[in-house]
Chain A
């Protein structure tokens, strides 16, 4: 198989957001696996201190340190590249920032004891956000020794949920309200330059339900308004979609309650199941609910498409997500051109 263009060639920082419960972390992990083709190195970052990545990859809690957690999804006959993971928290990011720019880790420890991190998260969350996004952009820009090539071919960030994503990414504006000049402002501007460049996109994960879809559309709009289009929306990743199991005609009949139960009775009988105590009618009820759900999914999908964003669909993994399931999702993303 030859290398083909993906929808996001040139993108090096993939930010993943979505409403809680839609599978943001799972999708971010699957995208990282899909991006890590042979010879490539991908970093998966989590920012909300939930250790969701460690749970997904079944490894011990991640420290503030880049660790290899998996091999990427290979192509036929070849192994994939390397997927590294990092759990960023504001405190670690602050120490890192002090070390990197001022060589003052010790002082940082003192500040932590004094509650500077509490201060940042309590009174100026924008400052905490800029430290966290700063770590992600630093990893995106990082080059090997002697100005070599990028250390990571791509960085995938499991970001805060849709309701908070605009502010989270709009760091320079958030911080400029607080700091007109000074080092933290300079840092924020550097971070913003990466986030507002064509190498960064924000993907939205949603399920085909009313609220997640509404939040996705609102989120895309908010990002556009807040940053005047400077932060680019990526694709919409529809997660846990359930396939229709009936023809359109049967779906319509089932939804309106006009399905022929006699036909079900005959079918059950042919399969050796007697229609005792109204079993067929009960299965008919399940068919109706299935039809209503499919109709709802179709409505929500159509709604999503009004945004004009590219979209990808990931199947529901019925037995819960394990490593095999992650690779299955990664394959689906790659097949649809997301990676």
Chain B
């Protein structure tokens, strides 16, 4: 009847395998990435791993339950974790600007660093959200991995419009730093050094146009910024590349998170294909918020028909006697709706699984309430490991 069932994702095998050092949770916004990352981190810790969860934008109550009350860029130990297996859990929220400042300070002499930190272009870049957050999340991941204080880092990727931004950010920065525009901005002297054909004839025109659009002062600031950053270029690119390699290493496991909705699954598909193209190790798909029913043997059609039967009966309570059928009718309608929803979700999920039959899948049932404490996270961890 249905296509072959997907392979089940064995979450415990992944977290119990000491060779797994990094788990990256990615997916489009609003699919439960943060909760999944926190649940995996907690389960790993309670199974004996020294785990650290790096999160970008957690729900306030979830953050509080993990003891994360401020953005302080330092992993904090989470209380209330069962450490009887010898594990521990730390968690931190990313402070994008501070992470960026630290890179600048690490790569430039104090004078130059101060100059960069004060530049309006730097301030705009380091506190904006487009791309920088992705890049800084990767940078922080690299730092945590390098510190080697934890044997498992679970990272929750930024809530990008597209899950792909996160992979593209380091390369976009790299491409920019290598770009021809940089040479325009850093001035004719340097451009001459590179002997670029396009610049010889077009240089005056291009600077002219840029001055016209941006104004001379903006161009000057941009030039100053870029020149100041110039000394750090090598360092920047090297870091981006080493993080990229880290993501390709065998100790990394990518988990794509999706909800059973058309948009989220479409993004998940793109992401899976992209990971494959980049030779990044995909461990599986977590399908969140799936609606199943404990009474699956009663079909939606039969349930609805039964509800209608009850609603068409004489209403005994109007005569003040006999049983009340409203409750059963409502229960049958709720059940029918849930069965229909589950069926729709199943079909959407099958679009994904039939295109990617080899990818292991774990399903997490929709929870009636939001998860905002460690017990809730434990339940999710348990479901993930069924």
Contact = CB atoms under 8 A, between A and B. Distances in A.
Contacts of B307: 271
28 contacts: A21-B259, A21-B264, A97-B213, A98-B209, A102-B212, A107-B205, A115-B179, A119-B179, A119-B181, A123-B176, A123-B222, A125-B125, A182-B216, A184-B213, A209-B370, A214-B60, A250-B327, A259-B327, A263-B324, A263-B328, A266-B325, A270-B325, A271-B306, A271-B307, A272-B309, A283-B334, A287-B331, A320-B262
A284 B221 CA distance: 67
A53 to B, nearest CB: 13
A184 B215 contact: yes
Contacts of B30: 19-22, 211-212
B274 interface: no
A121 B128 CA distance: 10
Interface SS of chain B: helix
B164 to A, nearest CB: 11
A305 interface: no
A272 B332 CA distance: 12
A210 B370 contact: yes
Interface string B114-126: 0000001101110
Contacts of B263: 21, 52
Contacts of A111: 206, 209-210
Nearest to A117: B181
Given A123-B125, A267-B327, A160 B161 contact: yes
Contact of A116 (B124, B129, B181): B181
Interface of A: 19-22, 48, 50, 52, 97-98, 102, 104, 107, 110-111, 114-116, 118-119, 121-128, 160-161, 163-164, 167, 174, 177-185, 209-212, 214, 245-247, 250, 259-260, 263-264, 266-268, 270-273, 279, 282-290, 292-293, 296, 318-320
Contacts of A287: 327, 330-331, 334
Interface in B275-302: 293-295, 297-298, 302
Q: Which of A160, A264, A271, A286 has the most CB of B within 10 A?
A: A271
Given A115-B179, A163-B129, A292 B124 contact: no
A179 B294 CA distance: 61
Given A110-B206, A250-B330, A180 B29 contact: no
A283 B332 contact: yes
B209 A273 contact: no
Given A184-B215, A267-B310, A286-B294, A20 B331 contact: no
Interface in B115-171: 120-121, 123-125, 128-131, 159, 161-162
Contacts of B217: 179-182
Contact of B175 (A118, A273, A293): A118
B59 interface: yes
Contacts of A115: 175-176, 179-181
B214 A183 contact: yes
A291 B338 CA distance: 14
Given A119-B181, A182-B218, A214-B60, A296 B368 contact: yes
A197 B336 CA distance: 49
Interface string B1-43: 0000000000000000000000000001111000000000000
A178 B218 contact: yes
Main DSSP-derived SS at the A contact region: helix
Nearest to A265: B328
A288 B330 CA distance: 12
A283 B181 contact: no
A50 B327 CA distance: 44
Contact of B333 (A178, A245, A288): A245
A118 B172 contact: yes
Instruction: Kindly state the interface size class of chain B when it binds its partner.
Output: 35 or more
A330 B222 CA distance: 46
A49 to B, nearest CB: 8
A104 B209 contact: yes
Most buried by B among A163, A212, A267, A282: A267
Given A21-B261, A245-B330, 4 more contacts: A161-B29, A177-B124, A259-B327, A283-B335
B176 A270 contact: no
A183 B216 CA distance: 10
B337 interface: yes
Contacts of A246: 327, 330
B36 to A, nearest CB: 14
Contacts of A102: 212-213
B31 A114 contact: no
| A50, A111, A123, A268, most chain B CB atoms within 10 A | A123
B173 interface: yes
A52 B262 CA distance: 12
B356 interface: no
A205 B9 CA distance: 34
Given A266-B328, A319-B344, A286 B335 contact: yes
Interface string B255-273: 0000101111000000000
A293 B291 CA distance: 13
Contacts of B209: 98, 104, 107, 110-111
B237 interface: no
Contacts of A174: 124
A245 B303 CA distance: 15
Contacts of B218: 178-179, 182, 184
Contacts of B221: 178
Given A126-B124, A184-B215, A185-B215, A284 B331 contact: yes
Closest 10 CB pairs of A and B: A182-B215, A267-B328, A21-B30, A20-B29, A271-B306, A282-B295, A292-B368, A282-B294, A210-B370, A289-B368
Nearest to B161: A48
B38 to A, nearest CB: 13
A98 B214 CA distance: 11
A129 B202 CA distance: 27
A271 B23 CA distance: 51
A89 B13 CA distance: 44
A185 B216 CA distance: 12
B184 interface: yes
A284 to B, nearest CB: 7
Nearest to B338: A286
Contacts of A182: 214-218
Name which of B123, B130, B323 has the most chain A CB atoms within 10 A of its CB. B130
Interface string B303-317: 000110110010000
